[in-house]
């Protein structure tokens, strides 16, 4: 098994649910699992990884991984919302995987709502993480295409095309296919 993984997909592709199910299955078999999330992700509480389908598990909330090491005997490190960590944190994950014998499985977004790759996602690719695409369908009614992009909207329903790459929450986002992204974001077909 590869020792560094990046499970990525759009919002609504069950990334956190899959992480929780993975943790449950490993723990059920007696495997020691550590769970980490970025401190900025406090939508459902500081010490919980929560899926929108209503399942959750306890996790360690960290600003960064500068001083973090899993407890002795840990076999699996599961990291949620990895896109909110820094590239240097990814390098710490590489060290944990390569030099401490821990399988590191990360979950998060690849790109933001402006089609820009998150720095942490870029670093995961650069260091050779095994990529696992988690699929979901476009949220435009009637469209069954693969969701590949995010649209972010302001309170009046207008598309936001600039600003902070790290906006928390999901009520003002929609996961869409490439065609609908270009039609709505750019106002044209491509």
pLDDT tens column, 70-112: 999 999 999 999 999 999 999 999 999 999 999 999 999 999 9
Interatomic CA distance for residues 18 and 182, integer angstroms: 29
CATH number assigned to the domain with residue range 4-133, chosen from the 4 options 2.60.40.1180, 3.30.70.260, 3.90.550.10, 3.40.50.300:
3.40.50.300
CB within 8 Å of 113: residues ≥ 6 apart: 149, 150, 151, 152, 160, 167, 173
Residue range 157-161: mean pLDDT, rounded: 85
Q: Which of helix, strand or coil describes residue 58?
A: strand
Helix (H) or strand (E) holding 106: strand 103-108
Least confident window among 1-15, 56-70, 128-142, 168-182: 168-182
* pLDDT above 70 (res 169): no
Kindly report the backbone phi and psi dihedral angles of residue 184, in degrees, each rounded to the nearest multiple of 5, phi listed first.
Answer: -85, -45
Interatomic CA distance for residues 84 and 38, integer angstroms: 6
> For position 117, what pLDDT does the model report?
95
Residue range 109-130: mean pLDDT, rounded: 95
Residue range 2-30: mean pLDDT, rounded: 92
- For residues 70, 103, 122, 127, the Cα torsion angle rounded to the nearest 10 degrees is 110
> For position 187, what pLDDT does the model report?
83
Please say whether the beta carbons of 127 and 91 come within 8 A.
yes
> For position 171, what pLDDT does the model report?
61
Mean pLDDT of the chain: 89
Q: How far is CA 189 from the centre of its chain?
A: 28
CA nearest neighbour of 60 among 45, 52, 75, 73: 45
Q: Supply angle C-alpha 32, 37, 43, rounded to 5.
A: 130
> For position 72, what pLDDT does the model report?
93
Residue range 12-29: mean pLDDT, rounded: 92
Express each pLDDT in 39-73 by its tens digit. Answer: 886 666 667 877 888 887 888 889 999 989 999 99
Residue range 135-155: mean pLDDT, rounded: 92
> For position 173, what pLDDT does the model report?
85
């Amino acid at each position: 098994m590869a020792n560094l993984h990046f499970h990525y997909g759009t919002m609504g592709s069950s990334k956190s649910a899959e992480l929780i199910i993975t943790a449950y299955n490993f723990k059920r078999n007696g495997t020691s699992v550590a769970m980490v999330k970025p401190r900025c992700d406090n939508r459902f509480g500081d010490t919980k990884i929560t899926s929108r389908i209503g399942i959750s598990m306890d996790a360690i909330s960290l600003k960064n991984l500068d001083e973090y090491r899993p407890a002795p005997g840990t076999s699996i490190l599961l990291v949620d919302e990895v896109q909110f960590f820094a590239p240097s944190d990814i390098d710490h994950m590489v060290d944990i995987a390569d030099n401490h014998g821990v399988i590191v499985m990360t979950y998060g977004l690849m790109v933001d709502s402006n089609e820009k790759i998150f720095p942490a996602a870029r670093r995961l690719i650069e260091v050779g993480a095994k990529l696992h695409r988690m699929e979901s369908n476009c949220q435009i009614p009637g469209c069954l295409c693969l969701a590949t992009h995010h649209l972010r909207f302001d309170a009046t329903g207008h598309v936001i095309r600039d600003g902070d790459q790290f906006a928390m929450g999901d009520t003002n986002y929609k996961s869409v296919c490439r065609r609908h992204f270009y039609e709505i974001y750019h106002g044209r077909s491509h």
